Homo-oligomer: A and B are copies of this chain.
Amino acid sequence: MTEGRTAQGETLLYLTDEQLRQGAEAMFFAYRGFTADPDRILDGLCYGRAHHRALHFIHTAPGTTVNNLLNILGVTKQSLNRVLRTMIEDGLVESRVGRVDKRERHLYLTEAGDALERQLSDAQRMRMRAAFRDAGPEAVAGFRRVLEAMMDPEMRRQYQRLREGRG
């Protein structure tokens, strides 16, 4: 029972309420940092975090339908429509009627949309790159493993589907 003893004595330390509480606080503070840089950029323009999220996932999955995006973002049609409409009007997003199913609208970034997406993502990635570099590859693998385990099953499926669609 060496395994068991070790587990209780050391390894399970990370499951105490205090450790879990610290984990929650880490999530809170880190998420603030995670969104801070793009938010700062968007402050100047008349866009918000909701626009960033839409841009990100349209970039990730060009040609996605409105319904699909709805599921990924987890918001209502009306909420999404508001941000989508302004970005279409401003020429950042293009909405094309579907060929096979004409009810659907497929979403693409225009050149301007792509430029803004890149600007926002670059700002965000710069911070993540620094964090990943500081923490090292082992830590990053653990980071990903814990985050994935923390997702709702439905979201985990969405996440994995997006990953598979790329490299």
Contacts and interface: CB of A to CB of B under 8 A. Distances in A.
A134 interface: yes
A146 B141 CA distance: 10
A149 B23 CA distance: 14
A127 interface: yes
Interface in A81-129: 121, 124-125, 127-129
- How often does this chain occur in the complex, in copies? 2
Nearest to A159: B29
A45 interface: no
B17 A125 contact: yes
Contacts of A74: 32
Question: Contact residue range for chain A?
Answer: 35 or more
A153 to B, nearest CB: 9
Contacts of A27: 30-31, 34, 147
Contact of A30 (B14, B121, B125, B148): B148
Interface of A: 11-15, 17-34, 36, 53, 56, 60, 74, 121, 124-125, 127-152, 155-156, 158-159, 162-163, 166-167
